[in-house]
Amino acid sequence: MLQLALCDDNIDELSNMVQLIDLYRTSRQLSCEYAVFSNGFELISALDKGKRFDVYCLDIIMPGFTGIDVAKEIRSFDKTAPILFFTSSPEFALESYAVKALNYVLKPISKEKLFLTLNELLEQVGVERDEDAIIVKSSEGIQKILISNLVFSEVIGRNVLYHLRSGKVIECTEPFSTVCDNLMKYGCFIKPHRSFLVNMQYVDTIANHQIVLQTLSSVPIAQGKAKEIKQQYLAYQMERE
């Protein structure tokens, strides 16, 4: 389920965006939900309360918190979430690049323009690709987790927690040894500590005692294991090149 945040202080533009996204998800049979915000303050307030989205669609020119301000807030906790800017002025293109926006679309937003932008977005985030995934059973039911969305997993007591890129945490009761066997097959995971598995796609820095991730979470490294972890990460990066 793809979660979108739509933020625009122009109610007519926001209404148009909602209608077009409804058309898009129906035509593509896309499983997605969206939340609507009429100004940047509302969205930032939701983020401060821990709400997270897979994609952010932001108007740039808004009173108070501009779309650029909101994007900077998003980037403070999520370095990779796609951000789409929709604006009536091209003058903010350079600033949008600074916050690593995925796309910069000039208004008015037509059906053709939005559909093309969303098609490109889905190609980027891999929603429609036959991606590697695991199936887990949580208190919410059976869930599919894309490997590309899984940042790290940890075991606490008898519970395994899957930490996703969106900030969501899926909690399951299963042996951590089974989780390790399932995830290590994908080649992008390392085990820096007996209680943690980390997706190397999300590693930001590796210190002697911890790994800092792009989501700003940190994972401990077992004593004496830092050199091995750094070598594994280096080998992983060399294989990708």
Q: What sign results for the dihedral spanned by CA atoms 52, 37, 112, 31? A: positive
Q: What is the 3-state secondary structure (H, E, C) of 111-156?
A: HHHHHHHHHHHHHHHCCCCCCCEEEEEECCEEEEEEHHHEEEEEEE
Residue-wise pLDDT tens digits, 24-44: 988 887 888 899 999 999 999
**Contact between 18 and 6 (Cβ < 8 Å):** yes
Average pLDDT, integer, range 58-78: 90
Instruction: Name the domain boundary from 99, 125, 151.
Output: 125
pLDDT tops 90 at residue 172: yes
- Statement: the pTM of the whole predicted model exceeds 0.75: no
Quick one: pLDDT at residue 5?
Answer: 96
- Using CA atoms, how far apart are residues 127 and 153, in angstroms rounded to an integer? 21
Quick one: pLDDT at residue 128?
Answer: 45
Residue 138 shares a structural domain with residue 117:
no
Residue 20 shares a structural domain with residue 102:
yes
Residue-wise pLDDT tens digits, 82-100: 899 888 777 766 666 667 7
* β-pair type (32-37, 2-7): parallel
Q: What is the CATH number of the domain that holds 40?
A: 3.40.50.2300
Average pLDDT, integer, range 13-26: 93
Please state, as a whole number, how many other Cβ atoms lie within 10 Å of the Cβ of residue 159.
13
Residue 185 is given by DSSP the state: T
Average pLDDT, integer, range 110-137: 77
Q: What is the CATH number of the domain that holds 184?
A: 2.40.50.1020
Average pLDDT, integer, range 49-62: 90
Residue 226 shares a structural domain with residue 201:
yes
Average pLDDT, the chain: 88
Instruction: Name the domain boundary from 84, 102, 125.
Output: 125
Average pLDDT, integer, range 114-125: 80
Residue 29 shares a structural domain with residue 51:
yes
pLDDT tops 90 at residue 118: no
Residue 35 shares a structural domain with residue 90:
yes
Residue 112 shares a structural domain with residue 39:
yes
Residue-wise pLDDT tens digits, 97-111: 667 777 788 888 899
Residue 149 shares a structural domain with residue 105:
no
> Would you place residue 213 in the very low, low, confident or very high pLDDT band (cuts 50, 70, 90)?
very high
- Using CA atoms, how far apart are residues 190 and 121, in angstroms rounded to an integer? 29
Residue 64 shares a structural domain with residue 177:
no
Q: Which of 145, 128, 127 is nearest to 136 (CA)?
A: 145
- Using CA atoms, how far apart are residues 235 and 106, in angstroms rounded to an integer? 42
Number of independent structural domains in the chain: 2
Q: Phi/psi class of residue 108: alpha, beta or left (left: φ > 0; alpha: ψ in -120 to 50)?
A: beta
Residue 87 shares a structural domain with residue 12:
yes
Residue 104 shares a structural domain with residue 204:
no
Residue 163 shares a structural domain with residue 225:
yes
Average pLDDT, integer, range 168-184: 92
Residue 187 shares a structural domain with residue 154:
yes
Quick one: pLDDT at residue 96?
Answer: 65
Instruction: Name the domain boundary from 90, 125, 160.
Output: 125
Domain assignment of residue 65, given as a range: 2-125
Q: Identify which has the larger pLDDT, 87 or 224.
A: 224
